[in-house]
Amino acid sequence: MRSVTILILTLWAAAARARVAIAAPAVGTQAIGPLTIEVTTDAAKIDRVEISVDGTLAGVLRKAPYRIAYDFGTSLDAHTVVAKVYANGYTSTETATITTASLALSDRYNVDLVEVPLRVRAGRTLRAEDLRVRENDVEQTISEVRADRGAAQFVFVVDRSLSMGDGRLTAALRAIDDASKQLRPGDTLSIVLFNHNVSRMRTIAHGERVAAVFAEVVPSGGTSLRDAIAAIPSKQRTYAIVITDGGDRNSVASEEEALRGISGTRTVVDALVFSDSRFLSRAAHNTGGVVASVSRDTIARALNTDIADINSRYTLVYQSHGTPNGWRTIRIEPKTRGVEVVNARKGYFAQ
| Residue range 51-65, pLDDT digits in tens | 999 998 888 899 999
Pairing of strands 80-87, 46-53: antiparallel
Total H helices, total E strands in the chain: 7, 21
Domain range enclosing 204: 153-311
pLDDT tens digits, one per residue of 99-150: 988 755 443 333 478 888 888 888 788 889 999 999 999 999 999 998 877 7
User: Given this model, what pLDDT does residue 132 score?
Assistant: 96
Q: Is residue 289 part of a domain?
A: yes
In percent, the amount of the chain with pLDDT more than 70 equals: 91
Q: Is residue 105 part of a domain?
A: no
Mean pLDDT is lowest, of 84-98, 213-227, 252-266, for: 252-266
What is the CB neighbour count within 10 angstroms for residue 46? 18
* 311 alpha-carbon distance from chain centroid: 11
Query: What is the spatial distance between Cα 227 and Cα 195, in angstroms, rounded to a whole number?
Result: 10
User: Given this model, what pLDDT does residue 105 score?
Assistant: 41
Query: What is the spatial distance between Cα 236 and Cα 254, in angstroms, rounded to a whole number?
Result: 24
334: cis peptide before it, omega within 30°?
A: no
Q: Is residue 106 part of a domain?
A: no
Q: Is residue 104 part of a domain?
A: no
pLDDT tens digits, one per residue of 308-341: 888 878 889 998 988 888 888 999 999 999 888 9
Check which CATH number belongs to the domain holding 252 and give it: 3.40.50.410
User: Given this model, what pLDDT does residue 40 score?
Assistant: 93
25: cis peptide before it, omega within 30°?
A: yes
Judged against a pLDDT cut of 60, whether residue 232 lies above it is answered with: yes
Query: What is the spatial distance between Cα 307 and Cα 298, in angstroms, rounded to a whole number?
Result: 15
* 95 in the same domain as 50: yes
Check which CATH number belongs to the domain holding 74 and give it: 2.60.40.10
Q: Is residue 107 part of a domain?
A: no
Q: Is residue 208 part of a domain?
A: yes
Q: Is residue 81 part of a domain?
A: yes
Comparing C-alpha atoms, which of 95, 183, 142 is closest to residue 321?
A: 142
| Residue 13 exposed, middle or buried by CB count within 10 Å (0-12, 13-18, 19+) | exposed
Provide CB contacts within 8 A for 124, sequence distance 6+: none
Helix (H) or strand (E) holding 299: helix 299-311
Average pLDDT in the chain: 86
* 298 in the same domain as 322: no
3-state class (DSSP) for residue 213: helix
User: Structural domain tally of the chain?
Assistant: 3
